[in-house]
Amino acid sequence: MVVAPQYVMLTLTPLEAQRFLLASLIYWFKFRNSNANRIFLTAILLSSCIHTVYMPYKGYQTITVSQQVYEKVKKKAEKESKSVSSYVGEILACYMEADEKLSRYAPFIELFGFEGNSVILRDHKINRVVDVYLHEKQLYCAHDESKDCMHISFCFALPQVRRVIRG
C-alpha cells in the first residue's frame, strides 16, 4: 500500500524562510545518507521557497508604501490587535466612504488643501475659494462669517479635520 505524502502550506517571512532553510540544511547534513530524507527535504525546501514570494491572494492587490509609513501603520495595527493588511483595508474603506458621501451631499465643494490652521475649499456653486479656520477647536467660515454652514459641515466630514479637533 502506497501512502501519498501530506503537505502543509506555509507562508513565511523572509527571515523565517532563511531560518527554516538553515535548519533544513543542518538536518540534511546530519541525515544525508537517507534517500527518503533527501526527497522529503528537497520537497520542503522547494515549497518553502515558492511560498515566501509575496504575491497577493486571489481578489486582493498589492500596494507599495514607504518604510516610514509602513512602520507607523504597523504600530497602529498592533495597538488595535489587527494585521497590517486588515487595518489598512479598513482605513481605506472609511476614507472612500467619506469621500463618496461628501461628493454626494456636497458635490459643488472640493477640498483644495490645508494651510496652517485653515482648510481651503473650492465652492463651485459660488465659484470662490473659501477659507475655514480652526480656532480653539471650533471651525469658522470666513466666507459665510459663520460657525454653522455647508462649508463647516463639509470640513467636519473630513477625517483629517476631525482628528485635529479631537486632539
Over residues 35-80, the pLDDT tens digits come to: 555 555 555 555 555 444 455 677 777 788 888 888 898 999 999 9
Least confident of 7-21, 64-78, 94-108, 117-131: 7-21
In a domain, 135, yes or no: yes
How many CB atoms neighbour CB 119 within 10 A?
24
In a domain, 91, yes or no: no
The pLDDT score that the predictor gives to residue 139 is 92
Q: What is the rounded CA–CA span in Å between residue 58 and residue 78?
A: 25
Q: What percent of the chain has pLDDT over 90?
A: 17
In a domain, 74, yes or no: no
C-alpha cell at 78: 498592533
In a domain, 82, yes or no: no
If one counts the domains in the chain, the total is: 2
The pLDDT score that the predictor gives to residue 1 is 47
In a domain, 132, yes or no: yes
In a domain, 64, yes or no: no
Residue range of the domain that includes 131: 106-166
The pLDDT score that the predictor gives to residue 31 is 59
The pLDDT score that the predictor gives to residue 104 is 80
Q: Is the overall model pTM greater than 0.85, yes or no?
A: no
How far from 87 is each of 32, 84, 119, CA to CA, in Å?
Answer: 45, 5, 27
Instruction: Choose the most confident range, by mean pLDDT, from 46-50, 61-65, 107-111, 162-166.
Output: 107-111
SS (H, E, C) the chain: CCCCCCCCCCCCCHHHHHHHHHHHHHHHHHCCCCHHHHHHHHHHHHHHHHHCCCCCCCCCCCCCCCHHHHHHHHHHHHHCCCCHHHHHHHHHHHHHHHHHHHHHHCCCEEEEEEECCEEEEEECCCCEEEEEEEECCEEEECCCCECCCHHHHHHHCCHHHHHHHHC
The pLDDT score that the predictor gives to residue 11 is 56
Q: What is the rounded CA–CA span in Å between residue 132 and residue 49?
A: 55
Phi then psi for residue 151, to 5 deg, are: -65, -40
In a domain, 67, yes or no: no
| Model confidence at 116: pLDDT above 50 | yes
| Model confidence at 132: pLDDT above 90 | yes
Mean pLDDT of 2-8: 46
Residue finishing a domain among 5, 33, 51: 51
Q: What is the rounded CA–CA span in Å between residue 46 and residue 59?
A: 25
In a domain, 118, yes or no: yes
| Model confidence at 111: pLDDT above 80 | yes
